[in-house]
């Protein structure tokens, strides 16, 4: 994935060098690459040759990185630390960080659109990714609701909406885009979408848990922020023990969607297990 991103991102020497330097700084800051790996492994179920899926996988990692850059801005979560390094705006200033985020979001669609597969698959992937990044049950909508829920008492339904929109949608799109790229049939795309949505939800429940249980050093970002900012989280609503149970139940449900693929989905199953067991 790193090699693909290295090739597909504009070189640091390309003018304006400041924006390309900032984009590269955040993309290569040491993220786990979970979304692109999910995309590649979903593709592998339907086609052993996964090289075309490097395009949507890279595009989605660009969208994810843009979301972190903007999430960290003073007007949003206002954070100094991300992926163990100073946040993009701390390193390059706010104007450059805003533009680096915009540029990564735009580049994502350029990359997905340039995937070396037929036009029908490319259009299907573009729609999938655009919807997931958008406002209707998508990442921006979830982020808006997340901000508006700060300091408020919200119920289980709203919390579920926030987590499924701000985080699960892009993870779902990662898996679905991989399947679409590899030419999966409609019924398989539906199954993979279900897997992605459910494991994405489990991923954000785990993220909430880690914010309480882990240190900033372990997470590479400021720990304990959710309580400090009175965020709507699973531990806040259900407590830690029940949150762990919910994450595990969701992961089990996600893995069940992979049943028809038996051994072909072994890696995807392993990643799903890792996503709820991870400590960072």
User: Out of 132, 139, 169, 268, which residue is the one contacting ligand FPP (CB under 6 A)?
Assistant: 139
Cα 24 to the center of its chain, rounded Å: 18
Q: Number of residues interacting with ligand FPP: please give it, by CB under 6 A.
A: 15
Nearer to ligand FPP (CB atom), residue 115 or residue 204: 204
Pick one of 71, 72, 79, 207: the residue that binds Mg ion (CB under 5 A).
Answer: 71
- Interactions with ligand FPP, residue window 162-201 (CB under 6 A): 166-167
> Smaller CB distance to ligand FPP: residue 83 or 193?
83
Place of tokens 């890279």: 58
State yes or no: residue 206 binds ligand FPP (CB under 6 A). no
3-state SS string for 192-222: HHHHHHHHHHHHHHHHHHHHHHCCHHHHCCC
Residue 207 lies near ligand FPP (rule: CB under 6 A): yes
- From residue 80 to residue 119, the character string flagging contacts with ligand FPP as x (rule: CB under 6 A) and all else as - is ---x------------------------------------
Secondary element (H or E) of residue 134: none
Q: Which residues contact 276 (CB under 8 A, 6 or more apart)?
A: 202, 203, 206, 247, 248, 250, 251
Alpha-carbon gap, residue 80 to 57, rounded angstroms = 27
Q: Which stretch, 37-45, 135-143, 228-236, 243-251, contacts ligand FPP (CB under 6 A)?
A: 135-143
Please enumerate in sequence order all residues whose Cβ is within 8 A of that of 27, keeping only pairs 6 or more positions apart, or say none: 5, 9, 61, 62, 65, 104
Helix (H) or strand (E) holding 85: strand 85-86
**CA dihedral sign of residues 154, 163, 65, 112:** negative
| Interaction between residue 77 and Mg ion (CB under 5 A) | yes
At closest approach, how far in Å is the CB of 75 from ligand FPP? Answer: 10
For ligand FPP, the binding residues (CB under 6 A) are 31-32, 34, 67-68, 70-71, 83, 139-140, 143, 166-167, 204, 207
Binding site for Mg ion (CB under 5 A): 71, 77
């Amino acid at each position: 994935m790193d090699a693909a991103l290295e090739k597909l991102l504009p070189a640091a020497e390309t003018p304006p060098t400041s924006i390309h330097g900032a984009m590269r700084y955040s993309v290569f800051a040491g993220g786990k690459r979970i979304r692109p790996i999910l995309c590649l492994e979903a593709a592998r179920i339907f086609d052993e040759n996964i090289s075309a899926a490097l395009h949507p996988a890279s595009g989605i990692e660009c969208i994810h990185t843009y979301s972190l850059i903007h999430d960290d801005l003073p007007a949003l979560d206002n954070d100094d630390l991300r992926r163990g390094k100073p946040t993009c705006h701390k390193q390059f200033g706010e104007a450059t960080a805003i533009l680096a985020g915009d540029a990564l979001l735009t580049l994502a669609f350029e990359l997905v659109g340039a995937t070396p597969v037929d036009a029908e698959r490319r259009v299907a992937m573009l729609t999938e990714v655009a919807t997931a990044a958008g406002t209707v049950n998508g990442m921006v909508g979830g982020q808006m609701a997340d901000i508006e829920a700060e300091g408020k008492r919200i119920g289980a339904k709203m919390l579920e909406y926030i987590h499924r929109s701000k985080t699960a949608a892009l993870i779902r799109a990662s898996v679905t885009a991989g399947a679409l790229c590899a030419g999966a049939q409609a019924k398989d795309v539906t199954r993979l979408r279900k897997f992605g949505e459910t494991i994405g939800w489990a991923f954000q429940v785990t993220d909430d848990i880690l914010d309480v249980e882990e240190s900033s050093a372990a997470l590479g970002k400021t720990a304990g922020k959710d309580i400090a900012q009175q965020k709507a989280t699973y531990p806040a609503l259900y407590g830690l023990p029940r949150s762990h149970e919910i994450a595990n139940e969701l992961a089990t449900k996600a893995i069940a969607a992979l049943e028809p693929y038996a051994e072909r989905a072994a890696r995807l199953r392993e990643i799903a297990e890792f996503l709820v067991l991870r400590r960072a």
